[in-house]
Structures are given as C-alpha cells and as structure tokens.
Amino acid sequence: MSTFFLNFNTSTVCRWLKETEKENREPKLLQYIRKLEETGLYEKLLELLLYKVKEKGEERYLPLAKVYHALQLELEMNGISVGYHRFRQIVKAIVVGVLGKNWEEFAHKRRSRGRAQRISFGAVARPKEVLEIDLTGYEFEGKNYSLILGFDLYTGFLFPPFIVENKEKGGVGSYNKAFNSMEVALYLIDVFKKAGIPKVVKCDNEKILKSQLIKEGLSRLGVRLSNTYPYRPNQKIIEVVIKEFKSFMRLHRRSAESIEELAQLAVESYNRNHHRFKHLSEKVIPAELFKGYSRKADETLISTAFVETVERTLKDGQIQIDNLIYQINYPKKKEKVVVKRLITNLKEVMVYQKSSGEFIGVAKLFSKPPVEVETTVEFKQEKLRSKRIDRRKKKLEEEHARLSYMEKPAVSLEEIADGEPQISISIEELESLNPEQERTEESQPRGLTLEDL
C-alpha cells in the first residue's frame, strides 16, 4: 500500500530528492581531476602528455597508452583505480576543458604512424623457435645511432640491441650503412650464447642480413635463414615491435644518461609489460613466457661458425688481406688458396688449397695493424672509420684551398716600397681594363704640333 507525504507519493518524493542530490553532486570526471591535483599527479600527467622529442625530423609524442602505463601504479597507490577507457575520458576532459585544445587533433598526434600500421591481409604465422631481426635508427643527444634488434616470434621477447654511432652522410635515415655483415654475425653470436640456437632466423632482404657470411654461419649451426617478401611490410612483425620499443625509449628518455642505458630501460619495459598477441588467448608478459631456445651449443662452436672466406694467392709464404700480411711456412713459391678468418680473431687465419680443398695450415699475423685491435670486427670498424676521416679531411682541404684563393690580398704600398711587390690583381680590376680600346686610341692619327714644325 502506497504512503503519501503532503499529498505526494513517497516514492515520487524520494526520486525528487535523489535527482536534486545528483544535480548538486560534482561530476565524476571533475572529482578525478581534483584528486589528481591533491595528490600531485596532475602536473606529472600534464608533463607526460605534452612531452615530445624529435625523431627523423618529426615531433613525436608519447602514446596515451604509454602515459597510462607509466602512471598506473601511482594512480592505484593514491586511491585512483581507473581503467584505460576511464583514463582517456579524464585526459579528454583536461585537454578540452582545461587546456582548450581540440581532442581529435591532440589524440591523432599521439597515435603511432608509419608503414607498420597498415592492415594485414591475413594473419602472419608465429611459430616457435624463430628469431626475427631487423635494423633501425635513433637520434639521441644530437647524435645518430644505428641498432640491430632481434625478438622471439612466438613469445614476443625482445633481445637487447647492438648499437653503433652512425656518422654516415644520410643521418639517422641511413642506419643500414653504419653496419656490415660481421657486426650482424657478432649480434647473432651473442644472442645464441645467451638464449640458445633457434630453428629459423627471419629477416628482410637487406644485403648485410643475407650475406654469404651470415648464410654459411647459420648453415653450420643448422639454422635456416628465411627472408620476407619484398614490399610487404605486413609480413614483418618486428616493424610493430620496433615502434613499440621506440615509444618506450621516449618514455625513459629524460632519465637516461646514454643511448645504452636508454635502450636497456626500453627493452626491460617492453619485456615486463603485458602484451596481447593474436596467436595467444590471453595477455602475456614476454619476460615470463620466454625460456630460451631448446637447442644449446658450446660457445666455442658458436663463435667459430661465422667465418670470413676469401680467395688469395700465397706467395713466398705470405698472404695479404685488408693490407695485413699473414705468414706461413709453405714449400711452393706460389699457390692459389682459400683463406678463412674468424670474426672474433684477427691474429690468425686458416689456409686451404683452392684446387683440392686440402688444409695447408694456420697463418699467423706478421704485420702490425694500424690500430691495436683483437677481433676482425674491430679491425673492419677502424678501417671504415679511417676511410670516413680521410674523406672528410680531403673535403676540408679542398674547401680551405678554395677559400684561400678567394681571399688572396691585393698588393700593399709597403710591398711596393720594399721593391719586391707580389703582383696581384683582382677580377674586377682585370675586367676594367680594355686593351682593344687602348690599341684603337694608339692607331688613330695625331695632328701636327709646333714642335713637329
């Protein structure tokens, strides 16, 4: 039976009271923003939202998902337990209501862009025991760097990169020119020693990734080299991984003192965060899922798998490779040979007869390298560095000669008074002279003067 209050139904009165209370209550989003201000997280949120870096000549911002993950723990510690969807609503309220910016434009600048975002025409298979590698570039503290990155295709585990400073003319965009196949082999050796040997190594058609050194080295270890199809970026899952890796680099960039520290922080963050992969039913943490590859091998076997092979002429017991002389005792005066040099050892090479393939012996390094190095990779790096310095030196000398010629001083009065003037005439003075006019004036007849009479 319904009760009445002042001739109104009690349920109607309760509904009116609730609606009045709801109207007087502060909106939920404003409550979150006020709590952010009270806990001191509001300034930190704004700093992360507006933080930007310059990469490849473009301004890049932190994706909203990375900002959320960076603040998620602190939000929960301060009693603000919100999911990513509610977090976006809070950010939208701040951007539109407080900052007065356009939300669509603001969110668009924080989306990942590039060819890795193209739609795939069919899911790419992600079998186990597959290592995918690729090259990329990054700019840090005004310097360009090139990186070799590898990740496990099934678990998504990202291996620490191999980093070199890129001093090539093209800048960060020419990251592939900073490497050679020996450095790729050195990176693979390091991964194989730490994680084991995979069944397949997958890469694109970059020349240094599918060189003879890489093919033969992987073949000796029983690893198949698989190349992706050209002009099909959707086949390269590592492209998406690199985008994600670089977003973590942006997140840690302010706290890192070197490119090595920055890369280490980004790799750890990537491997320790949850990821959702299509081939797995639930979110996973790569660092917990990856247990290494099943096949292990002795470190010496792995190191000696990648060998530089060249054909040379053994003459008077000496062989020359990269302007280095190797010496061996051999009875014949001249012989065509095949020389194999480990990328981890510059001091000696293995010599084989070209015709029969018979092993002749080990030749020791006789000449002294221009720089004290131990491995073939270091020697190659020093050689490329010296070539780059020589090119730069030659260019500077040509520029200096050109400037010296243009700034050559004219003759001074003191030089004329000394009796040893350095004759110098400018181009303007040369153009002011008109020898044709002088010859014309001399050829014209003169009138008779009183002296002539």
CA-nearest of 206, 216, 213 to 133 is: 206
pLDDT for 418: 53
Q: Alpha carbon of 176 to those of 108, 142, 224, 239, 281: distances in Å? A: 30, 19, 23, 15, 36
Q: With a cut of 50, which residues of the chain have pLDDT below it?
A: 1-2, 4-5, 25, 114-122, 413, 416, 421, 423, 427, 430, 436-453
Q: Give the global pTM.
A: 0.66
CA-nearest of 43, 38, 95, 34 to 64 is: 95
Tell me the pLDDT tens digit for each residue of 209-250. 888 888 989 999 999 998 876 656 566 788 888 888 988 888
CA-nearest of 368, 366, 362 to 339 is: 362
Distance between CA atoms of 354 and 336, rounded to whole angstroms?
A: 6
**Residue 295: beta bridge partners?**
197
Side chain identity at 160, as an amino acid letter? P
pLDDT for 166: 79
Q: At what angle do helices 237-252 and 64-77 cross, to 10 degrees?
A: 50
Distance between CA atoms of 42 and 7, rounded to whole angstroms?
A: 50
Angle (CA) 254-256-258 rounded to 5° is 130
Q: Which two tokens stand for residue 398?
A: 């040509």
Query: Which alpha helices (DSSP H) does 94-236 contain, by range?
Result: 103-109, 181-195, 212-220
pLDDT for 232: 61
